[in-house]
Chains A and B, each alone.
Chain A
Amino acid sequence: MSASEHLIQPGHRACAGCGLLVGARLAADTSDGKIAVVNATGCLEVTTTAYPQSAWRVPWIHSVFGNAAAVATGVRAGLRVQGKDVPVVAQAGDGGTADIGLQALSGMLERRDDVLFVCYDNEGYMNTGVQRSGLTPFDAATTTTPVGEWSFGNPLPKKDLVSIVLAHSPAYVATATIAYHKDLERKMQRALATKGPRYLHILVPCPLGWKFEPRSTIGVSRLAVMSNLFPLAEWRDGVLGRVKGPAVPVSVDEYLKAQGRFSHLFRDERGVDARATIQNMADETARRFGIRAYGDVVGVESPAGHAGAASSNG
């Protein structure tokens, strides 16, 4: 696909190395343009729609920060009563999904509206200058959870938003990240082909907020999966289906040390305990999804034959 054919055009104002724009372009292109997009306020909106320009080649609407899901309900209803069978995609960052947008998202899922909601999770309020959100990971430094003599970054674990979404029994739920773009495209295709409420959670590393070089975006994204902090999973009608995880997991240290927001974890004794806590989180996540954990001895299968899922990772 040449640059001029992408449904998000070059020339937008996102930062170099922005994971969000990679994710959003992959998602939009997968739709072939036969969608209507509802966007929450955030990086994606301000970088792609600076009036009188727009990077979007699909019908696109932004209202406010917390209402993408509800606007999408209205767009879907308006199109349906006119006999236009156009898939509606609502999209928001982690703030517009898990924090201020959670109520509207819950309402949309509860009504079983025929909308695909895509969360572009960059784990913080990056558009406003890297503040903590409900999806900021444990111990990450942000401008509202800074590291100081008495604090050690974000004191709260990342909200388990996927479980909250699953509690609404949506038709389709999946997690993806930009390092595994074929996996992302397949999940987007499946989500678009499904009727009813759907949810796609895409991890999109942010060079500015996570503090890494723009060239490292894909690599950091891959390490999130390889360290088991972000398993690639999918659920149909609430049932966990395929899970993709690392055949040979890496320690969370590999992921953490690649990012400046965790640099305090490698400075002194306090960091040793913190990294052990995060490793436990990753191992627990691996167990939940049946993936091999970092501490497992390579070559010995995890319980219940999970090696197949683990080795299928692209």
Chain B
Amino acid sequence: MKVMEGAEAIADAVRAAGPKVVSAYPITPQTHIVEALSQAVADGRLDAEFITVESEHSAASVVLGAAATGVRTFTATSSQGLLYMAEVVLNIAGMRLPVVMTVANRALSSPLSIWNDHQDSMTLRDSGWIQLFAQTAQEAHDLHLVAYRIAEDPRVLLPVMVCVDGFVLTHAFEPVEPVSDEAVSRYLPPLSLPFVLDPARPATFGAYADPTVYTEARFAIEAAQRRSAQVLSQALGEFAALTGREYSPDFDRYRLDDADVVMVAMGTAAQTAQVAVDEMRDEGVAAGLVAIRRFRPFPAAELVAALGNASRIVVFDRSVSLGSGGIVAGELRSALYGRLLPQIVGVVAGLGGRDVSVETLTQAFRAERDGWIDLRPDLEEIAP
């Protein structure tokens, strides 16, 4: 057990996974991750090409090209950087390349903010990437190893985004038990892709598709997304056997069995939400928590099963589909439609690094209708 910065814990897992090509462009709060990796390359602890590029667009493009030759790759980004690489992000998924990328979640401009919320990765939720959200530095470390495992599984062959809260996780120091290099080498077999760029066996990647085949190609991604849930479950089972650390493949369940009021949250706020649940219980409210780990593919059936007895669900969102409301709330309503009839309240809070305290979350529990719960009253008063 070591006390490690979140970014360091992530970089250590990536180093142990042994990517052959790493490329990234600096953006806060991702930087510590690739700084640690470039140091690992400089020190000879990671045998990889570390390629500095002129933009995130190129960072994504470099790992795309390298992955197409059949080697393990890594990149990391945040916020505007993720949006800047967006078209390549979709392309990587479309070409079924098993790239693993950390998204150190950060708010989007404008106004400019370097601080945490989930708007960046949520904006790319439809990109075809598997999306996993970590709650702690330990989990962030572990999920990166699992990410390579599922991305490279022949039943999946999709890229994976490991989403970690910027600063709150990337820059916080926590006790972490790193997986040993020897255990990682047992867990992650060498990468072997069915098709690669090689003159010995020429193949065409990234072709143009007319309307007779485009739908089929997109459906193949959808099918792989669905299959990945089972593969993730297996991968986490083997990870538990290796390390003793167990993770649910969809979401964590906290005091859920007899819960009447259930909060749904993602990322580091889920840890805070546990305390809020305890406080609500002390007040006599039968509160519980669902902490989503796998946002893509969305665990709709599992949520329906887990939320069957709740009369009220409070969805805590750190991102908004502007003009529509919290994104997770919308996803959940869609999943539950026609099956269960709990009241669903969506609350948006913690945007742009606004502190998510226990009080924020108990306030969310008490919210009666959808809304943005932590607008400052004094600012509301002066608004026209």
Contacts and interface: CB of A to CB of B under 8 A. Distances in A.
Contacts of A67: 57-58, 61, 64, 88
A66 interface: yes
Contacts of A79: 69, 197
Given A70-B65, A81-B49, A103 B206 contact: no
A70 B61 contact: yes
A75 B67 CA distance: 8
Nearest to A34: B199
B208 A45 contact: yes
Majority secondary structure, B binding face? mixed
A84 interface: yes
Which of A79, A104, A106 has the most chain B CB within a 10 Å cutoff? A79
B62 A74 contact: yes
Interface residues of A, number: 46
A70 B54 CA distance: 9
Contact of A71 (B54, B61, B203, B208): B61
A107 B71 contact: no
A49 B71 contact: no
A74 B207 contact: no
Contacts of B206: 39, 45, 49, 61-63
Contacts of A135: none
B91 A59 contact: no
B120 to A, nearest CB: 20
A237 B137 CA distance: 49
Nearest to A49: B207
Interface residues of B, number: 44
A36 B201 CA distance: 11
Interface stretch (A50-58, A144-152, A248-256): A50-58
Contact of B65 (A60, A66, A75): A75
A103 B199 contact: no
B55 A103 contact: yes
Contacts of A74: 21, 23, 51, 61-69, 73
Given A74-B61, A82-B69, A110 B54 contact: yes
A186 interface: no
Nearest to A56: B204
A295 interface: no
A33 B202 CA distance: 9
Interface string A130-144: 000000000000000
B109 to A, nearest CB: 20
Contact of B51 (A50, A54, A58, A77): A77
A103 B54 contact: yes
Contacts of A38: 65
B207 A50 contact: yes
Given A50-B207, A82-B71, A70 B58 contact: yes
Given A78-B21, A82-B71, A106-B54, A60 B199 contact: no
A245 to B, nearest CB: 35
A127 B53 CA distance: 29
B213 A52 contact: yes
Given A54-B207, A56-B202, A67-B88, A104 B58 contact: yes
A15 interface: no
List of 10 A-B pairs having minimum Cβ-Cβ separation, nearest first: A74-B65, A78-B69, A70-B61, A78-B66, A107-B54, A70-B58, A62-B206, A74-B62, A54-B204, A67-B61
Given A51-B217, A70-B61, A86-B198, 13 more contacts: A49-B206, A59-B203, A61-B205, A62-B207, A63-B91, A70-B58, A75-B65, A77-B62, A77-B65, A78-B70, A78-B71, A103-B55, A104-B55
Interface of A: 33-36, 38-39, 45-46, 49-52, 54, 56-64, 66-67, 69-82, 84, 86, 103-104, 106-107, 110-111
